[in-house]
Structure 1
């Protein structure tokens, strides 16, 4: 324990003095924060939640794969680790100190983003901050461990760069950290369920955007913790003090071992498609949380009044304002404009007598009447036709 605390103190002190660490942990995520904020229109309702989630995931990936992996290789190449070899220190406290240091130096970046999102874009601070910080710590721990195992199996900085990029790039583009997974074809969405960063992304999304607790994301938490523990164990077993010590090329296959939890979890999710469905639902909720300005429309107000040419402002899923004639610019309203010229906007219809179990007829097999997939399709049909609420009678729904 004394060795670990001493190494942790040294690592934290060195991190504070290292400009590269400060840049990649604080300034680099902020660049993405403001670029994504501008590109995605972060002032449009709940969009800022998506931006914070994406930037947090990108930061954790960089902190783990580059901050831990590349740094460990450089220290071995520069014979820094050789100096520890003559001391009564084992690889365990050395690697643990590196992992904990990475987690501790990244947390202020998350806090800074939350504060900026609140002050600049008006984002409300999430009520479950403890769950968010715990999940971020678990994610940072897992990816620091993955970075350390990469450092353990490569023989040079050049190899480390190649292997790190091979791991980093798919995680960056296939996890939802740079664009929504719904943009991908169905077969690609299935592949994303085998990628560790996907569970990091979905976990933070549900906690930050969906208001869930860390306990409700126990599958992602378990997979990340197992990956982190396995990664640290393998990194310890393959640890080398000197650059002259070489590993066989086959040793790189140990990287696969740390991905096994996600292989099993991905196989289950590919079969059940639960994560894909939940991700789509969450994305729709975020999309509804945007501010929309429907312009140039004929509007039935609902009280008998008809506006021949007007606009409707929708703020976070609710009608915020109705304008007769020209509305203020979408920029001043922080809204995304929809041109509804030649179209009519009217309040959603309510059908007080439907039979969801037998919508449009009867099934030969009564057990299919209340199949969740059929019910979902029937409700979607009502919504497509402008019916926003129904009352299903004569059944238990």
Structure 2
């Protein structure tokens, strides 16, 4: 078993690559807080007592969760991260009391490392946000445990695990996700972010990455791990100033440089994940050649050309998508990855485009030649390059904007 540790971006320390695994990983930061903790929330600043009292979730005893997880046995571990380990357990569907293994409702129990520093604050943030926010694309928090030094969170169980595992684990259990499933997951995750950014919630997620996108039995995507979530700016403020935290490779450059956090920071992170889904490569991988270690920097030049894009697409899904649709998805990723935050689309616009592409992914026809066909006719690809930008824009807003503008509403 690993160390249950996941490196994080911290203002006072070097940047780290912080990949998690399993059922929603965890967090690491600074400053263990006691019962006087205050959290900025979707309903204003609240104390720990107010957050726990207003929660409709079940307050579990440690004994109940120990029984439900078979005493936190190693073979019950679903995943691990900076927060701690996540265990599989069983409870009665109605009473939520511990049940025998294999009976009742399956749950995922995240247990805080007792030596964790910021763990308590992030444990409380999860309860604060998931205790108030409900959406089909957010993981459901069933309950929590606060007893002596024990702090645990109890979630609905997500049978297919994390998007990270399906994209990057090379073993027989995790089969490569098909193109259609990748687009389904991308749309679901985009809907989750769009809801968080809506006037109803006004929340900045701050840690969007493949390990925090969990999949149910039908590959519906749900966002998990709200330990770093923050309320969005209020009034005439344009951003939230905060300590730089997140995961290397996913955090927006302006946030890393200034600590100024906006919803567009999440949009950048979404672009990174969308790029990972297109390429099948991690955002950061020190095992790749030096010029390819940072996925965004390496892949960007390839994403607007019919001739070049095939060099970065995941070979495991070759032939499953049309070239034009792949270019459109790549163009959405590029827009999300704009260095200038104002040029990034909002998540509602991203959802709209991905919804349109759900209906076109499998369609053929003269204009939507398949990737396999394009391989066979690669000698003809160059002549299309001059018009590829317009091809990408078709279906998004009907025409291409000037380079200084965004093709999606901002």
Shorter-chain TM-score: what band?
under 0.3
* TM-score when normalising by structure 2: 0.25
* TM-score when normalising by structure 1: 0.26
Q: Does 1 or 2 have the higher relative contact order (CA < 8 Å, sep 6+)?
A: 1
Task: Give 1 or 2: higher helix fraction.
Answer: 1
